[in-house]
Structure 1
Amino acid sequence: MSTTALPDYLSPEILLNPENREFPEFDIVRLLHTVFEPTQGCRVCVLIDFDEPQDLIKDFTFNGKEGFQVQKNAHKHFYEPLQEYAMEKLGMNGGEMFAYRCTNGSNLDLDDEVWDTAGNLLSLDEDIYPKYDLILCISTWSATAPLTAKAKEFGFRGATLHGLNDVILNSGLSVDYNEVSRDAEKLRLALTNADSMEIDFTLEDGRVLTATLGLNKQDAQKSHGLCHGTKPDIANLPAGEVYFVPADANGQFPMKYEDGTLGVLDVKDRSIYRSTLIEGNQQTIDDHNARLADDPMTGTLGELGFGTQVLPVSYADIQDEKVLGTCHLATGRDDHLGGDILPDMFKRHENATHDDILFAPHKTPNFNVSQVRMNRGGEQEILIENFRPSKYLMDALAG
């Protein structure tokens, strides 16, 4: 295979050691200009979240408190530069910061209450969404799904950047998003209209679990970071992903829970219906099974995604799921991806999340994605082997 058409960041040396990739210094002007062109005349604001926003946002009180690293990054790297120079260079105005109440769940709908930095109570629907052209949501929990719905309703553009940390700032947000978009499109074309995907997971005891996801020849979609023009849209940053909304799913795949417990998830007709302990805490498995029994929609698979970028591990899924050679599944709502799983289909509001399940060497060292295969038009292509992109994907990137 010739790699002469591949940029340096796709060289074998960097693919094996992405932490050695060099990135330019983070530049908010470059980022916002690239992602949101045009910016001239746009009114912009920054949203952050707290459990008790009314106390912490007033006079930026959170800056003097312990913790709140995401919110402090939002203030230091977005709010302050916007006020000092970035808005003028980009031809924007506004730049205010507001805080809403933490949802405590990935992609749950936001409460309408929001507070400004003077401590005044406002309404997202009345005071924020209709009055800003660009909304940057830098939060603890992802808000991509609810903001995508609100963008369509009120006509704004924006970006969600949850879990923002220093690694993300200096890598995933420092890349050229024109390059990210080009690479994502090459891989999207390589995967689009697939009939199905098969994923093999090899456990430490030698067992191989296989999950098969039916895709019904749908057009692959991409999260590529560009949100140009005036069409309502939300970019999820860092971007760099090709994804599908599964039409069906069957088989098994492993799950590493937040407490480190490992389980095997059984899937039928697109839904997880049972978890079985591999090692760890049986109560964690029992709790998951009780949740599945109480509200089966929580086990519905709403996404299959593949990373397209070469980035260092950030220990935040928002970046790490965008790494080339990784894949992820997600349960729950998928309306923001063009799917049919809506928040009102869940038994309770707090269940209507979109939760990513990332398979990556640092995240799931107890099992290996030994192979991912695409079936399309009677032919089969290997996409990933042992968390490495295949020749098929590398040839697509070189095209």
Structure 2
Amino acid sequence: MYNDEKFPPFSLQRLMTTCFGEGQGEKLCILIDLPDPKEIEDFRFLSDESLSIQNYGYEVFYKGFKNGDLEALNYTGGDIFAYKETGGSNLDMEDDCYDPDGKHLSLEKDIYPNYQIILTVSTFSATAPLTAQAKAFGFRGATLHGLNQIIVESGLAVDYNRISDDAEKLRLGLTKADRFEIDFEVENQVTTLTLNTDQQEAQKSHGLCPRGKPDVANLPAGEVYFVPTSASGQFPFKYEEETLGLLTVEDGKIIKSRLIYGDYSLVEEHNAKLADDPMTGALGELGFGTQKLPFSGRDIQDEKILGTCHIATGRDDHLGGHLTPDLFKHRENASHDDVLYAPHKTPEIKVKQVRMYRDGEETVILENYRPAAYLLNLLKGEAVLS
């Protein structure tokens, strides 16, 4: 959508200084997840071509800090550790971790208390568990799951002061909404999902993690989001490339899926999971992208693109919600999974329109994966169209 945007060359120093501020001797480390965390010993994981994300963690951050950026930024440390991949988005991490010498360590005893900045480059998002640990131990950090070259050259190369300003303009334009309605169209059938937000204060993911406030940024950043208080209606869901289902929502939870086309066994499996552990169907987030970025093929960047929207199921405690891991029947179900609607990812699904209702007024904010005039005027700082 925005492939003609120009981005400056990636600079690790600029990214760190913008997101975390000038260094004051803070000790920093990088975490990566591996199927077998012992493979960090002597950096054996680098020979596995399937671990390209972790390779970026090594090349961009670990080597970048070791090659002089650490001292230039006035940070210390620059160490790297591996923990076992969780197998799902935002699932709690096992405590065991290892260093390149093969030493067995503990995240809670050796890492969290001893580092003031923790950067996590992983296959599976660790934002929720790390946010909880940041509040407990007082560190700051960032999660960069799914890292690839497009993200490095665009989503991590932008000026996050400007991104924060744009996100705030949109946040102010959406905050305290009563509800949102999203119209979807699949196979000439239109369905609507209503998400109530009950005049809550909108939140933003903007990439800035200033000193003095334990927090974990999600990079790339750039979205405005809400924790729905309830939801109802229907919305389409893409299981795999050739399989779509229609999900029915009541009282804030997905209660069943119906096959639109494709592999019926995927719908059966989903319905069985919903019956066994109903909290897996709870809707925990509604988000809108705020940046002009190229599509990367990774949700961490693509959900930040202006014109896209996403809904998330599962835990939302890291967003200020009440859906905590203990509410789920099975540990492996206590994930936070974004369902992204974007033209490159869900071309079979049209997001015909997204409407905001606030103070008795209806405002169109998105149409056909494009920002409506209301959002564009907010970004320009011009008077909002009525």
TM-score past 0.5 threshold: yes
Correspondent of 2:72 among 89, 94, 113:
89
Note the alpha carbon deviations across 1:303-322, whole angstroms, 9 max, x for none.
00000000000000000000
For residues 147 and 338 of structure 1, the distance between their equivalents in structure 2, rounded to whole angstroms, comes to 14
Correspondent of 1:98 among 68, 81, 91:
81
For residues 116 and 25 of structure 1, the distance between their equivalents in structure 2, rounded to whole angstroms, comes to 31
Decide whether the 8 Å contact of 2:194 with 2:232 is kept in 1: yes
Decide whether the 8 Å contact of 2:231 with 2:253 is kept in 1: yes
Correspondent of 1:39 among 23, 27, 51:
23
Q: CA deviation at 1:387?
A: 0.4
Is the alpha carbon distance of 1:150 and 1:260 closer, same or farther for their aligned partners in structure 2, counting shifts above 3 Å? farther
Decide whether the 8 Å contact of 1:38 with 1:229 is kept in 2: no
Give the percent of matched residue pairs that are identical in Structure 1 and Structure 2.
58
Are 2:335 and 1:353 aligned? yes
Are 2:251 and 1:266 aligned? no
Are 2:120 and 1:145 aligned? no
SS in 2 for 1:84: helix
Aligned to 2:139: 156
For residues 134 and 214 of structure 2, the distance between their equivalents in structure 1, rounded to whole angstroms, comes to 5
Aligned to 2:170: 187
Aligned to 2:114: 131
Correspondent of 2:305 among 308, 323, 335:
323
Note the alpha carbon deviations across 1:329-385, whole angstroms, 9 max, x for none.
000000000000000000010000000000000111111100000000001100000
Which amino acid counterpart does residue 249 of structure 1 have in structure 2? A
Q: Over aligned residue pairs, what C-alpha RMSD do you find?
A: 0.7
Q: CA deviation at 1:259?
A: 5.0
SS in 2 for 1:104: coil
SS in 2 for 1:336: helix
Are 2:191 and 1:213 aligned? no
**Any gaps of 5 or more consecutive residues in structure 2?**
382-386
Decide whether the 8 Å contact of 2:22 with 2:74 is kept in 1: no
Correspondent of 2:229 among 234, 247, 258:
247
1:367-382 equivalences in 2 (<5 Å): 367-382=349-364
SS in 2 for 1:49: strand
Note the alpha carbon deviations across 1:208-233, whole angstroms, 9 max, x for none.
11000010100000000000122100
For residues 196 and 397 of structure 1, the distance between their equivalents in structure 2, rounded to whole angstroms, comes to 22
SS in 1 for 2:321: coil
SS in 1 for 2:3: helix
1:194-205 equivalences in 2 (<5 Å): 194-203=177-186, 205=187
SS in 2 for 1:306: strand
Correspondent of 1:300 among 282, 285, 295:
282
For residues 175 and 66 of structure 1, the distance between their equivalents in structure 2, rounded to whole angstroms, comes to 28
Count of matched residue pairs: 381
Q: CA deviation at 1:20?
A: 1.1
Aligned to 1:238: 220
Are 2:51 and 1:68 aligned? yes
Are 2:103 and 1:120 aligned? yes
Q: CA deviation at 1:38?
A: 3.5
Aligned to 2:384: none
For residues 285 and 77 of structure 1, the distance between their equivalents in structure 2, rounded to whole angstroms, comes to 40
For residues 9 and 64 of structure 2, the distance between their equivalents in structure 1, rounded to whole angstroms, comes to 14
Correspondent of 1:78 among 45, 48, 61:
61
For residues 386 and 53 of structure 1, the distance between their equivalents in structure 2, rounded to whole angstroms, comes to 43
Decide whether the 8 Å contact of 2:90 with 2:128 is kept in 1: yes
Q: CA deviation at 1:66?
A: 2.7
Aligned to 2:155: 172
SS in 1 for 2:240: coil
Provide TM-score, normalisation by structure 1. Answer: 0.95
Correspondent of 2:266 among 284, 306, 313:
284
Which amino acid counterpart does residue 264 of structure 2 have in structure 1? Q
Aligned to 1:12: none
Provide TM-score, normalisation by structure 2. Answer: 0.98
Aligned to 1:223: 205
SS in 2 for 1:211: strand
SS in 1 for 2:91: coil
